[in-house]
Structure 1
Amino acid sequence: MMIIQSIILGIVQGLTEFLPVSSSGHLVIFKSYLGTDTQGIIWEISLHFGTLLAIIGVFFKDIFEILRGVCLSCKK
């Protein structure tokens, strides 16, 4: 798969991940539209792992505060 196609599919994944529709379905449609074949499970996992890293990056402060609160409540 060309790098440009991977970037386009990554953008589609990022934009549709938080919509109340299937982001995976959009990826299948865009793969078909771009004329690419399935790249395998590692490629799919990489896309979802990128989404996970983006979520952690955006919500890092909130996640840290929640974990800190849990740890402090466990000490009591």
Structure 2
Amino acid sequence: MNEGQHVRVKVRTVHAVYSGDLFVPEKRKRFSDVINDPGAVFINLTDVRMNDGPEKIEHLSLNKYLIESIRNV
């Protein structure tokens, strides 16, 4: 099993705002280390809500180039 932690983030893209859990592996210290990984084009979120709506999305992959802002919540 992978060691690490889940961090709740809010991601604003050109299309919507997503709130979800971002997995930060043990070898990384902060969620920004995951976002700034030059080898990854996508970030993966789990337990996602889009635009604070009632529908929960189990898993979502977001293209990092569409992200306008991201913050820890």
TM over 0.5: same fold? no
User: Structure 2-normalised TM-score?
Assistant: 0.28
Whose RCO is larger (CA < 8 A, sep 6+)? 2
Structure with greater proportional strand content:
2
Structure with greater proportional helix content:
1
